[in-house]
Amino acid sequence: MLFFYLISLPLTMGMVILTLKYFSSPDVPNYVLFTVGYTWFCSFSIIILVPADIWTTIFGNYSGGISFFWSLTYWSTFLLTWVVVPTIQGYEDAGDYTVVERLKNSLHENLVYYLCVGSIGLVGLILFIIFSKNWHVSGDILGFAMACSNTFGLVTGAFLLGFGLSEIPKGIWKNVDWTFRHKVLSHKVAKMAVKLDDAHQEFSSAIVVAQVTSNQITNHDPLRPYMNIIDNMLYQMLKEDPSFKPQGGRFGENDMDYNTDKKSMAMLRRRLRIAREEYCRYRSEYSSFVLEALELEDTVRNYERRNITGWKFVSSIKPERTGKLGPSFDMMEFIWRCVVRKQLEKLLAIILGCISAAILLAEATILPAGVDLSLFSILINSVGKQEMLVQVAAFVPLLYMCICTYFSLFKIGMLMFYSLTPRQTSSVSLLMICSMVARYAPPISYNFLNLIRIPDNGKTIFEKRMGNIDDAVPFFGKGFNKIYPLIMVIYTLLHVTNFFDRVIDYFGNWRIFKFQDQDDDADEFDSSGLIILQKERAWLERGHRVGEHIIPLARNFSSMNVDIEPGSNNTQMTSAVIGTMSQQFKPLNEEVQHVTSRETIIKNHSSTREHQKKQASNTTSTLEESTSFKSVIRPTSEKLSLKWESMMSGLVNFKSILEVKNYLPLRQTEENTLSSIASSSESLDDIFQRLKRPTLDLRDYGADNDRMF
């Protein structure tokens, strides 16, 4: 037990603290950090308690400390998962102004959730009374309740585990290939640039709505104190990020109705907070993808020129090392990035693949009573009475099973429910993630204990307290505890052979049920992603930050996706497009920075709303950059006429290149040629929307991925 108390618990605490600091946003309050940290600590304590429990059960050294820690960690995670965390999560998500109102809003939203959980518990208690003969025994009822609470985690966790056992080794092995990873990153950069642009527009709209609403509320209005809180909140946001420049945006039908009552003001405050969180999150993810792609390009370039550079790593985005040890560090970085790292990742993929196969073999052989083919069980029983070896042999595979389960859980959850971004994860996302971690920690541990054959059919303290899942689901029979792992094994084997993807591809209409995977983005390069990467590299060389000028570029290139291969004719075409369009976007960026100040946007929106009130037939209005351009550029139309003419000629040249290279269908050539001739009064957004319209009319689920426009 000395290993557990002196090593495992301090390591767990340190891991929790470092993880929180790495993922949490600076705006997360301390009580949320404490709640999430304590929940994670209890969840990980369950994982490290299992090896200690196995050792005490094998050698009969039962300790009261293990029993105490089991009770503390299990019931702490239970209460946190089902009561405390949902309440704090609703409190953090509310936009109300007082503590009491936010708590009332949280309890109201969680009322349906609590009623559903209580109904399920009542049904389970009735089933236990019907099927059990000794239902009056309090210990059996408590064990049954614990088994019921973990049945959902056991069943769903088995499928999450199977997905992770397959995807983690396969993903590491595929990403070792530099070309594969570069293709994936080109798609990720292009998609994230569009998401960043959408988040930028939403944040800009929220800022304008807040400022216009503030102008409409007088100093004697009862809602003025609440508006002052929003104004201070907006001031702090813009002060923390002075580089943010509002531009674009979209007005909805009810955007000017936030000054009606206190509840609507709370909705405006919540909208502003969520818009800012999404913008910061997408900006962080975009920056990480761009930097990874640029470093990968440098790695490939240095490996190809290793004989010229003398096996020294030369970075195009980082300053050159100086001093006597500079060349030595450059050589060490080259060896690590170009040689050692790739081989270590291959070795790691092989090792994890072997562990996955061993886990599947152990899961598949649970049902036979007299056969023990679990490598982990054989290893634990063969190390003798050495406490440290027993706990290490049990901890390593259990930790890998947890990683696989949480990998699948986070991947699915990040598509729909929450986000996990380094240093930009909000309070709501942290609380939801910690709830999921706590919910699946006991079922994973229980599943692992089923893989270990303890001599004389001994049961650990955890198994005794957890109860028997066969009693929780009696209508499945007494063998359900050994049958559901076989279902997971079959599912994993089908997933490894890409059975589900083949079925979905065979029935083309079922593609909407398919999650987007990085393999779908690895067939070809994304031309818009490569253009963005080239522009980001040029901006970095000029001393700018990543993502500083991406908004106008992503907004106009979001639909220009051409799948290309390095060395093909498409590359020459793309290079020509990059050169032509980069000249056009340079003056555009200068004008955007000049005309998108907060004062200009507020004036434009105010005049727009006054004009809308006179027209009762128009219920909605869209505010885009064209409004700002038209209102500000009008006095300087003579100066900008040459720029507009050059931009229009660039667009015509771009379309001509596509037509010469046969990238446009013949039936679209005439329409696009006519649509490219526009008057100088049109905005750039209008031009690109008209160019994109034929694509939207012809696109469907069965369209080829390499079709352009």
- Mind listing the pLDDT tens digit for each residue in 490-534? 989 988 888 887 787 777 655 555 555 555 556 788 888 899 999
Please tell me the predicted confidence (pLDDT) of residue 18: 92
Please tell me the predicted confidence (pLDDT) of residue 346: 95
What CA–CA distance (Å, rounded) separates 204 from 207? Answer: 5
Please tell me the predicted confidence (pLDDT) of residue 509: 57
Among 117-131, 221-235, 523-537, the least confident range: 117-131
- The model's pLDDT over 163-180, given as tens digits with 9 standing for 90+, comes to 999 999 999 999 999 999
Which residues have a Cβ under 8 Å from the Cβ of 428 and sit 6 or more positions away? Answer: 89, 92, 93, 418
Q: Residue 199 above 80 pLDDT? A: yes
pLDDT band at 590 (very low <50, low <70, confident <90, very high): very low
Residue 589 or residue 394, greater confidence: 394
Please tell me the predicted confidence (pLDDT) of residue 108: 85
Q: Residue 138 above 50 pLDDT? A: no
What value does the mean pLDDT of the chain take?
Answer: 74
Strand partners, 126: none
Among 156-170, 281-295, 556-570, the least confident range: 556-570
Residue 91 or residue 611, greater confidence: 91
* Mean pLDDT value of segment 394-420: 85
Strand partners, 64: none
Q: Residue 616 above 50 pLDDT? A: no
Compute the half-sphere exposure of residue 56: CA atoms within 13 Å on the CB side of its CA.
19
Q: Is 409 exposed, middle or buried (0-12, 13-18, 19+ CB in 10 A)?
A: buried
Q: How far apart are the first and last CA of the chain?
A: 66
Residue 126: how many other CB atoms lie within 10 Å: 10
Residue 258: how many other CB atoms lie within 10 Å: 25
Q: Which two tokens stand for residue 321?
A: 């090392």
Please tell me the predicted confidence (pLDDT) of residue 113: 74
- The model's pLDDT over 423-464, given as tens digits with 9 standing for 90+, comes to 889 999 999 999 888 888 888 888 898 888 887 777 888 887
Three-state DSSP class for residue 516: coil
Residue 128 or residue 43, greater confidence: 43
Please tell me the predicted confidence (pLDDT) of residue 5: 63
Q: Residue 223 above 50 pLDDT? A: yes
Residue 496 or residue 345, greater confidence: 345
Please tell me the predicted confidence (pLDDT) of residue 524: 84
Q: Residue 52 above 90 pLDDT? A: no
Please tell me the predicted confidence (pLDDT) of residue 647: 52
Q: Which of 597, 625, 621 is nearest to 610 (CA)?
A: 621
What CA–CA distance (Å, rounded) separates 519 from 478? Answer: 41
SS3 content of the chain, % helix, strand, coil (to 5): 75, 0, 25
Residue 468 or residue 11, greater confidence: 11
User: Do 265 and 227 form a contact (C-beta atoms < 8 A)?
Assistant: yes
Q: Which two tokens stand for residue 581?
A: 């369009």
Residue 384 or residue 702, greater confidence: 384
pLDDT band at 77 (very low <50, low <70, confident <90, very high): confident
Residue 608 or residue 252, greater confidence: 252
Strand partners, 563: 526
What CA–CA distance (Å, rounded) separates 157 from 406? Answer: 9
Residue 97: how many other CB atoms lie within 10 Å: 16
pLDDT band at 551 (very low <50, low <70, confident <90, very high): low
Q: Please give the C-alpha separations between residue 177 and each of 180, 348, 504, 520, 596, in angstroms, as whole numbers.
A: 5, 14, 27, 16, 43
User: Do 532 and 190 form a contact (C-beta atoms < 8 A)?
Assistant: yes
Q: Residue 298 above 70 pLDDT? A: yes
- The model's pLDDT over 531-546, given as tens digits with 9 standing for 90+, comes to 999 989 988 888 888 8
| Torsion on CA atoms 463, 467, 469, 475, rounded to nearest 10 | 160
Q: Residue 96 above 50 pLDDT? A: yes
Residue 107: how many other CB atoms lie within 10 Å: 14
What CA–CA distance (Å, rounded) separates 370 from 360? Answer: 18
N residues, the chain: 709
Q: Where are the domains of the chain?
A: 192-284
* Mean pLDDT value of segment 69-86: 86
* Tokens 């998401």 found at: 195
Share of the chain above pLDDT 70, in %: 67
Please tell me the predicted confidence (pLDDT) of residue 626: 37
Q: Which of 248, 192, 123 is nearest to 689 (CA)?
A: 248
